[in-house]
Amino acid sequence: MNRLRALSLALACMLTALLLTACDRQEVQTRTYTVGMEATFPPYEFYRGTEIVGIDVDILKEIGRRNQVQFKLEDMAFDSIITAVQTGKVDVVASGLTVTEDRRRQVNFTRSYAGAKQVIIVPEGSSVKGVDDLKKVRVGVQHGSSGDTYVTEHICEPERYTNGALAISAMNAGKVDAVVLDNAPAENHVAGSHGLIILPEAVVEEEYAMALRKGNDDLLTMLNLTLDEMEADGTLAAIIERHMRENTPETEQQADSMAGRLADDFRTDFVKNERWRYLADGLLVTVEIALAAALIGIALGFLIAVVRSTADLTGRLRVLDWFCRVYLTVVRGTPIVVQLLIIYFVIFGSVDISKVLVAMVAFGLNSAAYVAEIIRSGIMSVDRGQMEAGRSLGLSYGTTMRSVILPQAFKNVLPALGNEFIVLLKETSICGYIALQDLTKGGDIIRSQTYDAFLPLFAVAAIYLCMVMLLSHMLKKLELRLKKNER
């Protein structure tokens, strides 16, 4: 009795201490807001090395300094940026975001802090001389951008790319004839590539502002007041002016020979600014996610398979079996990208959870459905007599399953399971949808900085290929090993 009392007293003390330190922390810790942006938009937000820099970043830093709050930057796909702020995934969007009436219906805007316009980029000597000519050619835009909306509504059906830089590399590759993009990144991109010009006639004038969830009024007021202040004392203009001045990177001299050019491209794509790091870091993320997802998939898939086949073989576990079947139907009936987006934006919508974790769970849950059916088919393929033999030897159902059926089933399904892991590994390449920097996205970032589609894509493909070959090799070894044990 005494012991119990002492124990509960100690526990109570510990809890109070914990609570107190937690409260304490909250007081010292400055408030942190998350900011959504798509960071291939120089000079507003772009990568320098692995850090995101630019006008929006500096404005936020200054707002943070003046209000003693912090902003945590989240790089994400531009076409999900409005959803992100609506669902509370981020508190603010600061992404060279144009104020439009459509968007105003979904979110609140701060006052505008910069003017901009949509301009037309074409190859030198193009027949496109102005807005009217766009109707006759293929036009590239950034998906979900105000340029996209404008072109779609007033000019023609454009080709949509994940960001402006990719639209430009598509133009370099001859896939589109013109690109409509915001003027500041357009100037940067044109300075950074060869043989492109910006037409003097603009498509439409715009204003940039930050966006917030409707009803988030305290934060809105704070941002507006500080932006006013920064305009009045000249800080805002100074930040913009400084970045605009640095906005035109020098183009490098192009080599003449094919081999020389390839060597140059290799240098800019991978060596310069340590860009290979995007691939190396991305590879790590890809491997992490695939491994964790495979483990979740095996564990959960195995459970589901056992429930399903037990229900089939013995008629027990009917209710559980029903749930498993619903699960399989839903998971196998919907695309993994959609599942990933739902898990990220809806299920974990307002929770601040690591994206890597979200991806592990999403791919794990998805893979489980396929693994379950593979293992079940393995169990069902074992001769019925085996179960009967086990049972008549006096073994229980569970024991027969564990030591007679499952080992045989496993051997039968190994090739199919291996295949599932190969698919899983490659499937993680859609992580970019929730702005995870996996291997594929790493290649995309390089492409968006160098406008070279060729080498980064091949490098990414080669790395996946090596991983799959390694995996196949290991599976083959395992298969051989199991065969040897067959006696």
**Binding footprint of ligand ARG on the chain (CB under 6 A):** 37-38, 41, 44-45, 78, 95-98, 142, 145-146, 163, 182
DSSP state of 98: B
How distant, in Å, are the alpha carbons of 129, 140, 182 from that of 119? 12, 12, 6
Could you tell me the smallest distance in angstroms from the CB atom of residue 116 to ligand ARG?
A: 6
Under 8 Å between Cβ of 208 and 96: yes
Under 8 Å between Cβ of 379 and 309: yes
- Integer Cα distance of 425 and 195 in angstroms: 39
Residue 41 or 370: the one with the smaller Cβ distance to ligand ARG is 41
Could you tell me the smallest distance in angstroms from the CB atom of residue 41 to ligand ARG?
A: 3
Sequence-distant (6+) residues with CB within 8 A of 478 are 414
Could you tell me the smallest distance in angstroms from the CB atom of residue 145 to ligand ARG?
A: 3
Report how far Cα 11 is from the mean position of its chain's Cα atoms. 42
Residue 239 or 387: the one with the smaller Cβ distance to ligand ARG is 239
Could you tell me the smallest distance in angstroms from the CB atom of residue 366 to ligand ARG?
A: 29
Residue 98 or 366: the one with the smaller Cβ distance to ligand ARG is 98
Residue 86 or 95: the one with the smaller Cβ distance to ligand ARG is 95
- Integer Cα distance of 291 and 483 in angstroms: 25
Under 8 Å between Cβ of 191 and 246: no
Residue 278 or 348: the one with the smaller Cβ distance to ligand ARG is 278
- Integer Cα distance of 13 and 11 in angstroms: 5
Residue 170 or 289: the one with the smaller Cβ distance to ligand ARG is 170
Helix ranges (DSSP H) in 216-354: 217-232, 235-245, 258-266, 276-314, 318-333, 336-341
- Integer Cα distance of 200 and 412 in angstroms: 67
Could you tell me the smallest distance in angstroms from the CB atom of residue 188 to ligand ARG?
A: 12
Residue 311 or 446: the one with the smaller Cβ distance to ligand ARG is 446
Residue 166 or 328: the one with the smaller Cβ distance to ligand ARG is 166
Secondary structure (H, E, C), 162-204 = CCHHHHHHHHHCCCCCEEEEEHHHHHHHHHHCCCEEECCCCCE
Could you tell me the smallest distance in angstroms from the CB atom of residue 182 to ligand ARG?
A: 5
Could you tell me the smallest distance in angstroms from the CB atom of residue 91 to ligand ARG?
A: 17
Cis peptide before 123 (omega within 30 of 0): no
Could you tell me the smallest distance in angstroms from the CB atom of residue 130 to ligand ARG?
A: 21
Could you tell me the smallest distance in angstroms from the CB atom of residue 211 to ligand ARG?
A: 9
**Burial class of residue 302 (count of CB atoms within 10 Å of its CB; 0-12, 13-18, 19+):** middle
Residue 38 or 269: the one with the smaller Cβ distance to ligand ARG is 38
* Token pair in block for residue 49: 């090395």
Residue 44 or 47: the one with the smaller Cβ distance to ligand ARG is 44
Could you tell me the smallest distance in angstroms from the CB atom of residue 45 to ligand ARG?
A: 5
- Integer Cα distance of 399 and 403 in angstroms: 6
Could you tell me the smallest distance in angstroms from the CB atom of residue 97 to ligand ARG?
A: 4
**Residue linked to tokens 């033999």:** 389
- Integer Cα distance of 127 and 194 in angstroms: 18
Strand 108-109 versus strand 196-198 pairing type: unpaired
Residue 150 or 348: the one with the smaller Cβ distance to ligand ARG is 150
How distant, in Å, are the alpha carbons of 39, 196, 289, 436 from that of 354? 19, 40, 12, 10
Residue 79 or 133: the one with the smaller Cβ distance to ligand ARG is 79
- Closest-CA residue to 45 (of 451, 447, 445, 453): 445
Report how far Cα 150 is from the mean position of its chain's Cα atoms. 26
- Integer Cα distance of 41 and 278 in angstroms: 17
Could you tell me the smallest distance in angstroms from the CB atom of residue 272 to ligand ARG?
A: 22
